[in-house]
């Protein structure tokens, strides 16, 4: 794998050096840009253009069908450069992941060339190894064998047990400061990190310290407890005794007063449970007490939050309004070819401009109708209340705020004022022009969508790679 990765890396470096001055149109920025440059160079310089042209006739027909009126050569270059760039990216990422997997696999190899497996010392965990061999009679044989760590001799185990015994008092302390004043739970584990021993605990006073380390404090003087640790390693066993003193912790004056006052409150509540009301203590060591209930009051925070939200709504309302206006204009612009086509159709059928507008306004009541038909309905209502036709059509174009409808309203107004005889032909030209503009808009949206899809495709590739890598990491115990 290393040889393959080295060759692939050299090839990418050479191609990047050769393509560094390649003029790549519509290349995305960021990490994808070098791959697009290399793909552009390969397409233009390494005779791939003729190869793709000979093998991709159907692709060219599909591109022409999806992009009518587009430049064939530019469409072909953009398609193949993008496809090559993605292929190069996948190959590069796959090579890197292959190197990572190879490194991880080599780290997992325990079997040496001499046919031996290092066991590791007592601080390491038991491992599992899968080995295979080939027999002449049965062929390949695979075995999964647990490999225990290296065992200790009697002398080594005794020396390690002495070291363990020296550290044991610190290992079992937990949150306590010392074994001479124990008031919190002890860490009486069955095994401790760094030592291969199994430990069994016994307590001389289970009512004070349990075998699991729980400490039960009681009023009175300190109590002595003996903990017996039975330390085992294989067939060998040692027994040691740890002496501890269980006592209440020495509290500061402030903590002592707080605890006494808490006990006074609890006692007062318990003794007044038969009463209708619980009367809190009114004095403590001769000091008069005044109580106040602590409740969670977030009213001020809620008020400040309301002010922030109100300010945000005020500031962003104008932006939202402008956004809705832009969305409406985009919707009306997309409907322009349909509006011009219907107007030309109605006029060609013998209707007047006013009649054509009234006919189109009938579609405004539909829930799925475009916003432009509401403007048409508004113009018809203006005509009904006596607004001159020329003013109604001119205002119609101005309300939309779009150059296409302003041009259309100008054409209709000129026809009313000057009696333009070739209005129908002009509308037919406008229909063809609107269709061409809509086609360009669609082509631009397709190009933008292709660029936006690059990131999701790379993320999907990363997900697939992770799905491939996770089993390898789990098998390594990572």
Instruction: Give pLDDT, residue 477.
Output: 59
Cα 199 from Cα 189, distance rounded (Å) = 7
- By three-state DSSP, how is residue 147 classified? strand
Give the list of residues 6+ apart from residue 189 with CB closer than 8 angstroms, or none: 172, 199
d(CA 40, CA 23): 8
Percent of the chain past pLDDT 90, that is, above it, reads 0
Return phi, psi of residue 294, to 5°.
-95, 115
pLDDT band at 68 (very low <50, low <70, confident <90, very high): very low
Order of all β-strands in the sheet with 198-203: 198-203, 223-233, 236-246
Strand bridging mode 283-284 / 198-203? unpaired
Q: What is the pLDDT of residue 60?
A: 61
- The enclosing H or E element of 143 equals strand 139-147
Q: What does the alpha-carbon distance between residue 48 and residue 41 come to, in Å, rounded to a whole number?
A: 10
Q: Is-contact 197 161, C-beta < 8 A?
A: yes
- Measured CA angle at 160 (ends 159, 164), to 5 deg: 120
| pLDDT of res. 336 | 85
Encoded tokens for 315? 């500031």
Q: Where does residue 477 fall: left (phi above 0), alpha (psi -120 to 50 degrees), or beta otherwise?
A: left
What are the residue boundaries of the structural domains of the chain, listed by start?
2-108, 154-246, 331-454
Has residue 69 got a pLDDT over 60? no
Name the pLDDT band for 66 (thresholds 50, 70, 90).
Answer: very low
* Mean pLDDT, residues 239-254 taken together: 76
Q: What is the DSSP string of 291-327?
A: --------HHHHHHHHHHHHHHHHHHHHHHHHHHHHH
pLDDT at 191 over 70: yes
* Averaged confidence pLDDT in the chain: 77
The tens digit of pLDDT for each residue in 446-471 reads: 887 777 788 888 888 888 888 888 87
Q: Which of 179, 158, 236, 151 lies closest to 188 in space, CA to CA? A: 179
Give 113-164 pLDDT, tens digit per residue. 777 777 777 777 777 778 777 766 677 777 777 777 777 788 888 888 888 8
SS (H, E, C) 26-79: CCCCHHHHHHHHHHHHHHHHCCHHHHHHHHCHHHHHHHHHHCCCCCHHHHHHHH
Nearest to 86 by CA among 37, 46, 138, 32: 32
Say what the pTM is: 0.39
Q: What is the pLDDT of residue 306?
A: 67
Question: How much is the pLDDT for 320?
Answer: 66
pLDDT tens digits for 312-346? 765 566 566 677 778 888 888 888 888 888 888 88
Please, are residues 63 and 52 in contact by the beta-carbon 8 Å criterion? no
The whole-number pLDDT of residue 395 equals: 85
Provide the pairing of β-strand 198-203 with 139-147. unpaired
E strand or H helix that includes residue 239: strand 236-246
Compute the distance between CA of residue 423 and CA of residue 178 in angstroms, rounded to an integer. 103
CA dihedral 118, 124, 128, 130 (to 10 degrees): -30
**SS3 of the chain: helix, strand, coil, percent, to 5:** 60, 10, 30
C-beta separation of 339 from 377 below 8 A: no
DSSP letter assigned to residue 238:
E
Residue 458's φ and ψ, nearest 5 degrees, are -65, -40
pLDDT at position 398:
83
| Residues 286-316: tens digit of each pLDDT | 888 877 766 666 666 777 776 767 667 655 6
CB atoms under 10 Å from CB of 170, counted, come to: 10
- Per-residue pLDDT, 54: 47
Of 137 and 399, the structure prediction assigns the larger pLDDT to 399
Exposure class string for 321-335: b at 16+ Cβ within 10 A, else e: eeeeeeebbeebbeb
Give the pLDDT of residue 65. Answer: 42
Most confident of 30-34, 174-178, 363-367: 174-178
Say whether pLDDT at 175 is over 70. yes
Distance of CA 306 to the CA centre of its chain: 31
């Amino acid at each position: 794998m290393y040889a393959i990765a080295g060759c692939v890396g050299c090839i990418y470096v050479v191609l990047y050096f050769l393509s560094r001055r390649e003029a790549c149109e519509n290349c995305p920025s960021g990490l994808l840009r070098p791959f697009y440059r290399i793909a552009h160079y390969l397409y233009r310089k390494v005779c791939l253009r003729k190869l793709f042209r000979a093998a991709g006739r159907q692709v060219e027909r599909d591109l022409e069908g999806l992009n009518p009126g587009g430049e064939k050569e530019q469409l072909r270059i953009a398609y193949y450069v993008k496809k090559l760039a993605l292929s190069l990216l996948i190959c590069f990422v796959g090579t890197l992941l292959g190197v990572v997997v190879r490194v991880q696999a080599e780290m997992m190899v325990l079997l040496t060339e001499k046919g031996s497996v290092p066991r590791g010392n007592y601080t390491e965990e038991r491992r599992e190894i899968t080995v295979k061999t080939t027999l002449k009679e049965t062929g390949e044989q695979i075995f999964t064998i647990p490999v225990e760590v290296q065992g200790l001799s009697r002398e080594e185990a005794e020396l390690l047990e002495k070291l363990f015994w020296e550290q044991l008092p610190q290992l079992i302390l937990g949150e306590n400061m010392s074994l001479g004043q124990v008031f919190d739970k002890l860490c009486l584990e069955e095994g401790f990190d760094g030592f291969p021993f199994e430990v069994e605990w016994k307590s001389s006073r289970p009512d004070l310290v349990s075998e699991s380390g729980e400490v039960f404090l009681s009023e009175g003087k300190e109590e002595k407890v003996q903990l017996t640790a039975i330390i085992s390693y294989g067939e060998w066993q040692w027994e040691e005794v740890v002496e501890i003193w269980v006592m209440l912790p020495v509290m500061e004056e402030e903590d002592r007063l707080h605890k006494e006052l808490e006990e006074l409150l609890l006692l007062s509540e318990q003794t007044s449970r038969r009463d209708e009301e619980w009367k809190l203590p009114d004095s403590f060591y001769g000091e008069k007490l005044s109580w106040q209930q602590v409740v969670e009051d977030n009213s001020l925070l809620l008020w400040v939050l309301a002010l922030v939200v109100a300010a945000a709504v005020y500031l962003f309302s104008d932006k939202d309004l402008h956004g809705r206006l832009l969305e409406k204009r985009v919707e009306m612009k997309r409907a322009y070819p349909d509006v011009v086509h219907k107007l030309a159709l109605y006029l060609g059928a013998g209707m007047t401009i006013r009649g054509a507008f009234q006919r189109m306004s009938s579609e405004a009541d539909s829930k799925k109708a475009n916003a432009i038909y509401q403007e048409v309905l508004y113009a018809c209502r203006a005509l009904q209340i006596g607004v001159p036709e020329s003013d109604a059509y001119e205002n119609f174009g101005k309300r939309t705020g779009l150059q296409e409808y302003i041009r259309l309203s100008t054409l209709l107004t000129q026809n009313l004022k000057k009696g333009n005889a070739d209005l129908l032909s002009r509308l037919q030209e406008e229909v063809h022009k609107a269709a061409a503009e809509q086609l360009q808009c669609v082509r631009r949206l397709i190009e933008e969508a292709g660029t936006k899809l690059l990131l999701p495709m790379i993320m999907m590739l990363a997900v697939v790679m992770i799905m491939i890598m996770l089993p390898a990491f789990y098998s390594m115990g990572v």
